[in-house]
Amino acid sequence: MTRLGLPSLAVAAIAAAALAGCVPGRGESPADAPVAPAESDAEGVERCSPAVEALVGSIAGGLDSGVAISNAWTVRSREFDSVYFTSARVDREGGAGETATWATLAPEGGQFLFAVTELARESGDFPADESFDGGSDGVRESQRCARVR
């Protein structure tokens, strides 16, 4: 019986893994690789989902003339049952693309929209709900997504 040394065993194990397709990264294209957020303050962005078109339309329908939104992201709150926070960049005359946040109970259609931030209140006709503020779970995460992604 031939005795293999440790280096020979390591080479044999790597070759067997490669043949079996077990080498990390093998068969992955760059598009399959996870994308890291562009900024270091991106904590919580894994909870974000792009806001659905119907929700964006509902928000846009309540905005004042000359105000538009873009890059809207939604996060389900862990603090409130059935509450979703959506943040978006607000573009208006004299504004610099600041981020506003709304709360909804229906992220698929945008019914029951409430202004969470002052900018959301100033940008359109949305009632405020004092239950929600900038410290509510999901607000900061959705704001980060609107800024980072």
Query: CA-CA distance, 58 to 102, in Å (whole number)?
Result: 11
Question: Domain span at residue 123?
Answer: 47-148
Does 6 map to a domain? no
Does 116 map to a domain? yes
Q: Which residues pair with 74 in a beta bridge?
A: 49, 86
pLDDT at 97: 81
Token readout for 134 is: 């900038």
Does 9 map to a domain? no
Does 139 map to a domain? yes
Per-residue pLDDT in tens (0 to 9) along the chain, 149 residues: 444 444 443 434 333 333 333 333 333 333 333 333 444 445 667 899 999 999 999 999 999 999 999 999 999 999 998 999 999 999 988 777 899 999 999 999 867 899 999 999 999 999 998 899 899 999 999 999 999 86
Does 24 map to a domain? no
**How many domains would you assign to the chain?**
1
| Rounded (5°) CA angle 56-143-55 | 15
Does 143 map to a domain? yes
